[in-house]
Amino acid sequence: MAQQHNLLSRYTTEELVERVKTTIAQIKYITIATVSKEGEPWNAPTFFAYDEKYHLYWGSPKGSQHSQNIRANGMAYIVIYDSTVEPGTGKGVYMKTRARVLTNLDAARYAFDVIMKRRGDIPYWPYWEFEEYAPEQPIELFTAEPYQIFTNGGIMVNDVYVDSRVEVKL
């Protein structure tokens, strides 16, 4: 029988929640994983912002594959991590979400304001004016609402490190 030891068991629930919140606050890009109607997977790195409920927001071209996939099935798996750290030292956040295009003008304005606040002094790109998100324009605003959030950890199985995930409630 395999002997297992959970390496995250040394952290309190509060420490894991803080770890997830810190990672979300520090990292400015998400990787959005979606699946097409035909079952083809797609990943897209995207600048994002978030609100106090940890709903995520971003703008993407209507024709992009992940935008089409989200419109088709409303699902996205999102990963937030720092790819610059040494192997074995990274902390990640993994989210199962319900994603959608923001078609309501008030919701779109709210998302745009959250995004612009997070962008700060980064120079605007040509399409980063709110009016550019009108239905006839090429850019859409999206939101993703997490229904499960995980962070990475590890377990030792017979003295071998095995990467694992633990669910965290925000």
- The CATH number of whichever domain residue 130 belongs to comes to 2.30.110.10
Cα separation, 42 vs 45, whole angstroms: 10
Q: Does the residue 169 lie in any domain?
A: no
Nearest to 142 by CA among 104, 106, 109, 99: 99
Nearest to 42 by CA among 70, 84, 61, 83: 70
Q: Kind and range of the H or E element at 97?
A: strand 92-101
Q: CA-to-CA distance for 68 and 29, rounded, in angstroms?
A: 20
Would you place residue 12 in the very low, low, confident or very high pLDDT band (cuts 50, 70, 90)? confident
State which of 75-79, 89-93, 161-165 shows the largest mean pLDDT.
75-79
Q: Which of 2-11, 34-43, 48-57, 154-163 has the lowest mean pLDDT?
A: 2-11
Q: What is the largest CA-CA distance in the chain?
A: 62
Helix (H) or strand (E) holding 106: helix 105-119
Residue numbers of the domain that contains 66: 4-164
- Whether 170 is in a domain gets the answer no
47 half-sphere exposure, CB direction, 13 A CA radius = 16
Q: Could you tell me which residue, 118 or 8, shows the higher pLDDT?
A: 118
Give CA 35 to chain center in angstroms: 15
Nearest to 141 by CA among 53, 54, 70, 35: 70
Question: Residues of the chain with pLDDT > 90: what percent?
Answer: 59
Of the ranges 34-38, 56-60, 66-70, 138-142, which one carries the lowest mean pLDDT score? 138-142
Q: Is the pLDDT of residue 140 over 80?
A: yes
pLDDT digits (tens, 9 = 90+) for 40-78: 999 999 999 999 999 999 999 989 999 999 999 999 999
Domain membership flag for residue 144: yes
Residue 72 lies in a domain: yes
Per-residue model confidence (pLDDT) at position 3: 62
User: Is residue 10 one of the residues assigned to a domain?
Assistant: yes
CB of 82 closer than 8 Å to CB of 40: no
Domain count, the chain: 1
- Could you tell me the pTM of the whole model? 0.88
User: 90 CB contacts (<8 Å, ≥6 apart)?
Assistant: 81, 82, 83, 152
Residue 35 has pLDDT above 80, yes or no: yes
Write down the pLDDT at residue 26: 95
